[in-house]
Copies of this chain bind each other. A is one copy, B any other.
Amino acid sequence: MRKGETTRQAILERATGLASKVGLGGLSIGELAAELDLSKSGLFAHFHSKETLQIQVLEHGAEVFVEHVVRPALAAPRGEPRMRALFERWLDWGRSSPLPGGCLFVQAATELDDRPGLVRDRLVEFQRQWLDVIATSFRKGVDLGVFRRDAEPEQFAHDMYGVMLGYHHASRLLRDSQAESRARRAFDSLLAAARRPSGE
């Protein structure tokens, strides 16, 4: 009972890191088992199928993401500070230690966008929730009067996601050392455009 849960957790941790590099489909039960000094069948018994493993990896990743990004950022004061907190922690997330291959969800997003199934459904759910967190936080800023009243929270969330994807592309694929400053600048422009003009 207790022991099983421990190793299951260890498996998921390792699998999350591996999946950030090779994707959820690239996850190999054999390789994973070897890395953890487990037998293939012993590891397999924890999940009963590869699909379940993939889903649980996604769920594990989402938990860590909430802990690492969402929860602390939501502790920041409403309005711009909170948006910046979301952004900065998100930036940091892609570089965090358990993700040697960058953001797990970015990897999974392009991998699964044409592969219907439970794994994809779960991923979409997570992404929608995350976009909703951003949009809701932004809306609070509108209500507070720091963002334009005609600004659209969903559009802002979409644009912010685009900035992060651009950052991921520049830093991970192009190994652009300026990726971070570029992303920050892009986000600043986003905020500037959303800010309520003084005197309104």
A102 and B114 form a contact (CB under 8 A): yes
List the B residue with the shortest CB-CB distance to A163: B162
Q: Choose one: B114, B158, B192; the contact of A22 (CB below 8 Å).
A: B114
A123 to B133, CA, bound (A): 34
**Within the complex, what minimum Cβ distance (angstroms) separates A39 from chain B?**
27
B173 and A124 form a contact (CB under 8 A): yes
Stretch binding the partner chain, chosen from A66-74, A103-111, A134-142: A103-111
Enumerate A147-200 residues with CB–CB distance to B below 8 Å: 154-155, 158-159, 161-163, 165-170, 172-174, 182, 185-186, 189, 192-193
Chain A: residues with Cβ within 8 Å of the partner, total of 43
A125 to B192, CA, bound (A): 33
Residues of B within 8 A of A165 (CB): 162, 165-166, 169
A161 to B168, CA, bound (A): 11
Q: A26-B25, A114-B102 are in contact. Are A155 and B182 (CB under 8 A)?
A: yes
| A23 interface residue (CB < 8 Å to B) | yes
**Within the complex, what minimum Cβ distance (angstroms) separates A186 from chain B?**
5
| A85 interface residue (CB < 8 Å to B) | no
A189 to B156, CA, bound (A): 11
| A127 interface residue (CB < 8 Å to B) | yes
A189 to B192, CA, bound (A): 11
A159 to B102, CA, bound (A): 20
Q: Choose one: B112, B166, B173; the contact of A112 (CB below 8 Å).
A: B173
